[in-house]
Amino acid sequence: MNPLQSRLAARVAEAPVPAAEVMALALYDPDHGYYRRAEGPWGFDGKDYYTALDLGPLLGQTLALRLEAAWERLGRPARFTALEPGAGRGWLGRDLLNAVSGPFAEALVYVHRDDNPAAKMAAKTALAPFLAANRARLAAETEPLEPFLGCVFSNELFDALPAQPWRWDGTRWVREVLAAEGPEWQAAEPGAAGAWFTQHSDGLEPGDGSLWCEALPGLVHDLAAPLTAGLFLTIDYGESAARLLAKGADLRRFKAHTVDGKWHEDLGEADLTADVDFTRLAHLLEGQGLKELAHVELSKWIRTHAPLDEWGAGWMALPEAQRLKRMENLLQLTLPGQMGSRFRVLEGWKG
């Protein structure tokens, strides 16, 4: 039994532990948490999962165009800060910085914000030329954010925040806990979560349920408040509040490229994720002064914003291996059933 598992077993022997607390321990325990380990879990071979960034630079290239449009809309300021919380290995920042040119590139400063030690190490390598040229910097999560003009963007940040599964059993709300015999659903007072779920349902059916992320308002405030004007853009797994409720959203475990619901096993050695409630995220951003909030499937966002005609023509001139890689990158992000249909992109504007 690993150290987290034995610590949890001792707690569970005293009283059941809510699933959100198990997730917090599994991902963020300072010594053994999955996102506090020295070695990274990303990529294809022998790792737990890959993200859209492992597929190629197309996401970063499309993001670069959205950020440049935001810079234009702000009146081409001399400095445009792009803050990426949960930046992981810094690959999206790298792809973004590689894609920009001209006056926008001169204005852009990329800030990587993620305390994950393995990710930070990888980011130092990925961003090395940009760090040396003062076009990028690494910030600690505890570093206070000064007011800035520009953009906050993230990929798979909010799905990595501890979240509590709740279900409507027909007469009352129950929450998922780890008890001595294993996971079970126990009656509890849902407070703000219950009020939110009820408000976003057309009439609850037994089995309906969703996830409640307690830390979401605080993090949204910390990230959106310092943005004086500009774009907030988030890419993540998730759905609207109503759709999550109807599907009975639950926690997922990723291990060695397989997905299951065993959130209480292999603590600290497997990734846990929770679908993001995009309705709630948009509502909280609205409370921080963001406007024009909308979210769409990633595949649609790519089809809308990537200049595919232009790129397609350029790709035809590439050596075959490179051309095929670009095509595959595009298909993964746009075909039904592939990565682009599992993610959503939320955008909002401040100022």
- Among 88, 190, 268, 348, the residue binding ligand SAM under the rule CB under 6 A is 88
275 binds ligand SAM (CB under 6 A): no
Distance CA 57, CA 55 (A): 7
- Among 8, 23, 96, 119, the residue binding ligand SAM under the rule CB under 6 A is 119
Count Cβ atoms within 10 A of the Cβ of residue 5 and give its class: 0-12 exposed, 13-18 middle, 19 or more buried: middle
- Among 114, 176, 275, 277, the residue binding ligand SAM under the rule CB under 6 A is 114
Q: What is the 8-class DSSP label of residue 16?
A: -
DSSP codes, 300-336? HHHHHHS-HHHHHHHHHTS-HHHHHHHHHHHHHHHST
- Classify the C-alpha dihedral 186-189-191-195 as positive or negative: positive
| Residue number with CB closer to ligand SAM (16 or 164) | 164
130 binds ligand SAM (CB under 6 A): no
51 binds ligand SAM (CB under 6 A): yes
Least separation in angstroms between CB 142 and ligand SAM: 10
Residues from 94 through 113 that contact ligand SAM (CB under 6 A): 113
Distance CA 164, CA 179 (A): 15
Distance CA 142, CA 223 (A): 12
- Among 160, 178, 216, 227, the residue binding ligand SAM under the rule CB under 6 A is 160
Residues from 9 through 38 that contact ligand SAM (CB under 6 A): 35
Cα 105 to its chain centre, rounded Å, is 25
Could you tell me which stretch among 75-83, 156-164, 187-195, 307-315 binds ligand SAM (CB under 6 A)?
156-164
Size of the site for ligand SAM (CB under 6 A): 19
62 binds ligand SAM (CB under 6 A): no
Q: At what angle do helices 58-73 and 298-305 cross, to 10 degrees?
A: 60
Distance CA 113, CA 118 (A): 13
Least separation in angstroms between CB 300 and ligand SAM: 20
| Residue number with CB closer to ligand SAM (24 or 174) | 24
* Parallel/antiparallel/unpaired status of strands 173-179 and 17-18: antiparallel
122 binds ligand SAM (CB under 6 A): no
219 binds ligand SAM (CB under 6 A): yes
| Residue number with CB closer to ligand SAM (91 or 197) | 91
SS3 state at 351: coil
| Residue number with CB closer to ligand SAM (116 or 332) | 116
Positions that interact with ligand SAM (CB under 6 A): 35, 42, 51, 53, 85-89, 113-114, 116, 119, 141, 155-157, 160, 219
